């Protein structure tokens, strides 16, 4: 089916297709012109492990080191990405999101490990979105500060001494934001695809209804008799008209009038064949 045939189909059912086209166009205009753009800013942090706990020799030289809690449970993981996953879960909680919104966060954010230097890399990435570049940058900074505070709180709640805490050091700061066109483009493509699918469904349903209507009309025309239905004065059982007695024409008593009767055999002989013999002539005498 070429484009001209598709256009003809759409125009054929214009009462149903034109409203869908208009609504799709209005939705596309809203997505492009009215909906606010989305900007994204990002930053990254690296997790630095603390120094090892004091040895017995060091404790013997300085007994005060023995009274410091150097046992940090978060340093027992061989994979530092586990600690990043714990921080991401903490920042995605409802209470943390509400606190960031009260602090001035503008849009959604995400805390995840980066695979740029391998899956076991201790680098943590933070991405934040906003309706303007300034809002996206501010949100990224607020999330970064919240991550560092949460990391310290998790370790301090275990009674770990400050010297033996895992620290988050910033690698790249969120000093600029980029326009995230994929989000707006994704919505625009979704609107256009939904409009096209709805238009296709409407045309298909209209075609099916038209075909069904034509099929029923054809069957009704084939089932109807050629001479039309019987009238009130027709007798269907006899297959002919059932006229009243007064509608029959008067029967003529003498259809031949005053003319002479017709003789089938005029006076004379009649040749009669016999069985296996020559025909002989028999005189014909009309009955009196």
- The answer as to whether 263 is a domain residue is no
3-state secondary structure (DSSP) of residue 112: strand
Instruction: Quote the domain boundaries for residue 28.
Output: 1-36+181-222
Q: Do residues 139 and 43 share a domain?
A: yes
Asked whether residue 35 carries a pLDDT value surpassing 80, the answer given is: no
Cβ proximity of 168 and 155 under 8 Å: no
Q: Do residues 165 and 119 share a domain?
A: yes
pLDDT at position 195, please? 87
pLDDT at position 134, please? 92
195 vs 184: which has the higher pLDDT: 195
CATH number, position 85: 3.30.70
Q: Do residues 8 and 48 share a domain?
A: no
DSSP 164: G
65 vs 184: which has the higher pLDDT: 65
Q: Do residues 70 and 173 share a domain?
A: yes
Q: Domain total for the chain? A: 2
* Percentage of the chain modeled with pLDDT above 90: 20
Q: Do residues 42 and 175 share a domain?
A: yes
The Cα 110–Cα 70 span in angstroms is 31
The Cα 136–Cα 36 span in angstroms is 13
Asked whether residue 224 carries a pLDDT value surpassing 80, the answer given is: no
Asked whether residue 138 carries a pLDDT value surpassing 90, the answer given is: yes
Q: Do residues 145 and 42 share a domain?
A: yes
Cβ proximity of 136 and 128 under 8 Å: yes
Q: Do residues 55 and 160 share a domain?
A: yes
- The answer as to whether 231 is a domain residue is no
* Percentage of the chain modeled with pLDDT above 70: 73
Cβ proximity of 51 and 166 under 8 Å: no
What average pLDDT score do residues 27-56 get? 86
What is the length of the chain? 288
Alpha-carbon dihedral sign for residues 98, 99, 103, 108: negative
Q: Do residues 65 and 167 share a domain?
A: yes
What does residue 190 show for φ and ψ, rounded to 5 degrees? Answer: -65, -40
Among residues 121, 154, 179, which one ends one of the domains? Answer: 179
Least confident span in 42-51, 114-123, 169-178: 114-123
Q: Do residues 42 and 161 share a domain?
A: yes
pLDDT at position 104, please? 87
The Cα 179–Cα 133 span in angstroms is 8
* R_g (Cα) of the chain, nearest Å: 52
- The answer as to whether 60 is a domain residue is yes
Q: Do residues 49 and 92 share a domain?
A: yes
pLDDT at position 251, please? 47
Cβ proximity of 21 and 199 under 8 Å: yes
What average pLDDT score do residues 213-235 get? 66
pLDDT at position 260, please? 56
| Beta carbons within 10 angstroms of residue 203's beta carbon | 18
Asked whether residue 47 carries a pLDDT value surpassing 80, the answer given is: yes
pLDDT band for position 38 (50/70/90)? confident
Q: Mean pLDDT score of the chain, rounded to an integer?
A: 78
- The answer as to whether 132 is a domain residue is yes
16 vs 283: which has the higher pLDDT: 16
CA atoms within 13 A on the CB side of 177: 24
């Amino acid at each position: 089916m070429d484009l001209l045939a598709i256009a003809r189909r759409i125009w054929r059912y214009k009462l149903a297709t034109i409203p869908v086209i208009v609504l799709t166009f209005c939705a596309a205009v809203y997505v492009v012109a009215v909906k606010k753009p989305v900007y994204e800013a990002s930053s990254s942090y690296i997790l630095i492990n603390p120094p090892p706990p004091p040895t017995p020799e060091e404790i013997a030289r300085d007994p005060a080191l023995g009274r410091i809690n150097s046992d940090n449970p978060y340093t027992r993981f061989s994979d530092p990405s586990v600690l990043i996953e714990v921080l991401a879960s903490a920042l995605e909680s409802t209470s943390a999101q509400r606190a960031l919104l009260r602090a001035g966060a503008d849009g959604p954010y995400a805390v995840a490990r980066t695979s740029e230097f391998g899956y076991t890399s201790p680098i943590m990435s933070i991405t934040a979105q906003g309706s303007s570049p300034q809002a996206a940058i501010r949100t990224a900074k607020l999330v970064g500060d919240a991550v560092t505070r949460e990391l310290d709180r998790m370790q301090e709640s275990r009674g770990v001494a400050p010297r033996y805490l895992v620290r988050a050091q910033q690698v790249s700061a969120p000093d600029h934001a980029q326009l995230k066109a994929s989000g707006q483009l994704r919505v625009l493509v979704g609107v256009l695809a939904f409009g096209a699918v709805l238009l296709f469904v409407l045309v298909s349903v209209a075609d099916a209804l038209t075909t069904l209507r034509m099929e029923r009309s054809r069957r009704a025309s084939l089932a109807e008799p050629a001479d039309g239905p019987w009238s009130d004065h027709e007798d269907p059982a006899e297959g002919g008209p059932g006229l009243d007695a007064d509608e029959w024409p008067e029967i003529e008593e003498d259809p031949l009038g005053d003319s002479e009767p017709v003789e089938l055999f005029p006076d004379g002989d009649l040749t009669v064949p016999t069985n296996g013999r020559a025909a002989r002539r028999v005189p014909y005498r009309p009955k009196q």
